[in-house]
């Protein structure tokens, strides 16, 4: 049942829902919530840094995929290359990593401690419902080349 739900929901919808939930939480919970940092300027500065850095890490591979005509969803096409350069040289999932870092930044921007659960939940959801399926598709499509890449580069960092 849960797997069916995540099969029909794409990752962008999940992190957008998390961001909306955090923004709503900021409006509703801020008078009562335990802060992450005592200093609001430090929370905002570090939140902006993480949110911006995460966004760059999440968006940069999209540009690479567009340039090489690699589809974002539905697995690699027959003509798509296996990307092992740029961010993919350091993590097999730069977009998911960027989103998780961005969610940590958003949590810092709201400065509400309970919001730190969102990047953790995002990693758990991606590890459980999306990445294994994507890795199976990549292994099927690229075989030994992807197997070697998987041994060389970590899933996250």
33-48 pLDDT per residue, tens? 899 998 899 999 999 9
Check: pTM over 0.85? Answer yes or no: yes
The class that CATH gives domain 35-152 is mainly alpha
For residue 120, the model assigns a pLDDT of: 99
The pLDDT of residue 2: 67
At 98-139, the pLDDT tens digits run 999 999 999 999 999 999 999 999 999 999 999 999 999 999
Q: Is 139 exposed, middle or buried (0-12, 13-18, 19+ CB in 10 A)?
A: middle
Give the Cα separation of 84 and 91 in Å (integer).
9
């Amino acid at each position: 049942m849960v797997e069916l739900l995540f099969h029909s929901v794409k990752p962008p919808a999940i992190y957008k829902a998390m961001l909306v939930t955090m923004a709503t939480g900021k409006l509703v919970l801020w008078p009562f919530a335990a802060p992450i940092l005592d200093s609001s300027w430090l929370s905002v500065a570090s939140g902006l840094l993480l949110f911006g850095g995460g966004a760059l890490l999440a968006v940069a591979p999209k540009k690479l995929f567009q340039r090489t005509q690699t589809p974002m969803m539905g697995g690699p096409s027959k003509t798509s290359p296996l990307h092992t350069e740029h961010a993919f040289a350091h993590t097999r999932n730069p977009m998911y990593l960027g989103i998780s870092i961005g969610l940590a930044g958003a949590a810092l921007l709201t400065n509400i401690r309970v919001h730190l659960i969102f990047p953790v939940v995002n990693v758990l959801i991606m590890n459980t419902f999306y990445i294994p399926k994507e890795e199976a598709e990549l292994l099927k499509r690229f075989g030994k080349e992807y197997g070697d890449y998987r041994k060389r580069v970590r899933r996250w960092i």
